[in-house]
């Protein structure tokens, strides 16, 4: 049942991605709105969300929704879709890849489905609980890298809340010196998908929302990886902080815990 639902949701994500791709061709930065400091939104985000909500309602009419743009009332039910209609809006506005559609499916308190559609590379990542993770229908796995010195790490910069920037920079300094390097794409959903398929060995970020990470969390877990909050616990969906990776997750967690109070 879950596989069928996720595959149907993947088709809905593909429709939203096609809309985003088409709108980017003639997109005008003058139509961008500001929800807050460095928090951008446009009609593309909102219309993409409306497309997703309409399509997902057809799949699970009884489900609730948690969405970034709140075009529908937030409501937790037995089944709940968690949606980011355009993860990486700042990238999109500037014509800079990547940006993604992210759809997570929650059953009670458990993530059971995840879809990330990276628009620019036309890549559909999917996972369902107990069924593995896939990129364009091919199975994917996290890397088997155990050593931080052999790892490529992804992160996200503070863009709104700068209260923790000094601590963050200490973490970055250690990781920069001990790894192959750090990358910052600007799309948490894409970062997690890239961990799941082995392009990154690990990823960490603070000040996240559930819609940024719901789908990616399951992708990493079903690809054989580890996900935790900064304490090593499980408060990563709504806890606003996350570390994900293959075996090197333990080393990244060690460095984060060393600095994070």
Q: What is the pLDDT of residues 139-156, one digit of tens each?
A: 999 999 999 999 999 999
Q: 132 falls in which pLDDT band (50, 70, 90)?
A: very high
Query: pLDDT value at position 30?
Result: 78
Q: Is the pLDDT of residue 164 over 80?
A: yes
65: which residues sit within 8 A by CB, 6+ positions away? 53, 56, 72, 73, 74, 75, 80, 81, 82, 83
Same domain? 123 vs 196: no
Question: How far apart are the C-alpha atoms of 198 and 192, rounded to whole Å?
Answer: 10
List alpha helices for the chain, DSSP H.
2-25, 43-59, 89-93, 165-178, 188-196, 210-222, 249-259
Are residues 166 and 122 part of one domain?
Answer: no
Q: Are residues 114 and 180 in the same domain?
A: no
The pLDDT confidence band at residue 39, using thresholds 50, 70 and 90, is low
183 by Cβ neighbours in 10 Å (0-12 / 13-18 / 19+) ranks as middle
Length of the chain: 261
The whole-chain average pLDDT of the chain stands at 95
Q: What is the pLDDT of residue 29?
A: 85
Domain boundary among 139, 168, 201: 139
Same domain, 118 and 172: no
Tell me whether residue 33 is exposed, middle or buried, using C-beta atoms within 10 angstroms of its C-beta: 0 to 12, 13 to 18, 19 or more: exposed
Helical axes 249-259 vs 165-178, angle rounded to 10°: 140
Q: Write out pLDDT tens, residues 177-210.
A: 999 999 999 999 999 999 999 999 999 999 999 9
Which domain-ending residue is among 139, 167, 198?
A: 139
pTM over 0.75, yes/no: yes
The parent domain of residue 34 ranges over 2-139
Query: What CATH number is associated with residue 237?
Result: 3.40.190.80
Question: Are residues 26 and 131 located together in one domain of the fold?
Answer: yes
pLDDT at 259: 96
**Domain holding 27: CATH number?**
3.30.540.10
Q: Are residues 200 and 236 in the same domain?
A: yes
Looking at the fold, whether 113 and 216 belong to one and the same domain comes out as no
Mean pLDDT of 215-234: 98
Torsion on CA atoms 127, 50, 40, 116, rounded to nearest 10: 10
Number of domains comprising the chain: 2
131 pLDDT more than 70:
yes
pLDDT at 28: 84
Residues 207 and 161: beta-carbon distance below 8 Å: yes
Residue bearing tokens 């003058």: 30
Q: Is residue 40 over pLDDT 80?
A: no
Q: Answer for the pair 243, 206: CB distance below 8 angstroms, yes or no.
A: no
Pair (122, 8) in one structural domain: yes
Q: How far apart are CA 170 and CA 161, in angstroms?
A: 17
For residues 57 and 129, membership in a common domain is answered with yes
71 vs 83, residue with greater confidence: 83
Instruction: Note whether 218 and 244 are within 8 A (CB).
Output: no
Please compute the mean of the pLDDT values over residues 42-63 and round it to a whole number: 96
In terms of domains, do 174 and 109 share one? Answer: no
Question: Is residue 135 domain-shared with residue 6, that is, in the same domain?
Answer: yes
Q: Is residue 261 predicted with pLDDT exceeding 90?
A: no
The pLDDT of residue 38 is: 57
Could you say which of 139, 160, 189 is where a domain stops? 139
Same domain, residue pair 165 and 239: yes
Name the β-bridge partners of 241. Answer: 206
Give the pLDDT of residue 240: 96
**116 pLDDT above the threshold of 70:** yes
């Amino acid at each position: 049942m879950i596989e069928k639902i996720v595959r149907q949701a993947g088709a809905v994500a593909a429709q939203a991605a096609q809309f985003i791709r088409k709108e980017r061709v003639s997109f005008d930065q003058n139509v961008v709105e500001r929800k807050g400091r460095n928090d951008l939104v446009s009609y593309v985000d909102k219309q993409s969300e409306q497309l997703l909500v309409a399509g997902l309602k057809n799949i699970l009419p009884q489900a609730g929704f948690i969405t970034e743009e709140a075009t529908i009332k937030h409501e937790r039910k037995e089944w709940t879709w968690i949606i980011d209609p355009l993860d990486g809006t700042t990238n999109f506005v500037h014509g800079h890849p990547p940006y993604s559609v992210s759809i997570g499916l929650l059953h009670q308190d458990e993530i059971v489905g995840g879809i990330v559609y990276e628009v620019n590379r036309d890549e559909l990542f999917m996972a369902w609980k107990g069924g593995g993770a896939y990129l364009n229908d091919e199975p994917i796995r996290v890397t088997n890298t155990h050593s931080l010195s052999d790892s490529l790490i992804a992160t996200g910069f503070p863009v709104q809340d700068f209260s923790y920037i000094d601590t963050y920079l200490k973490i970055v300094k250690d990781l920069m010196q001990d790894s192959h390097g750090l990358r910052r794409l600007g799309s948490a959903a894409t970062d997690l998908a890239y961990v799941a398929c082995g392009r990154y060995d690990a990823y960490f970020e603070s000040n996240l929302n559930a819609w940024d990470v719901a789908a990616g969390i399951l992708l990493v877990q079903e690809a054989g990886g580890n996900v935790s909050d900064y304490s090593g616990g499980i408060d990563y969906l709504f806890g606003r902080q996350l570390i994900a990776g293959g075996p090197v997750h333990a080393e990244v967690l060690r460095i984060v815990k060393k600095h994070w109070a």
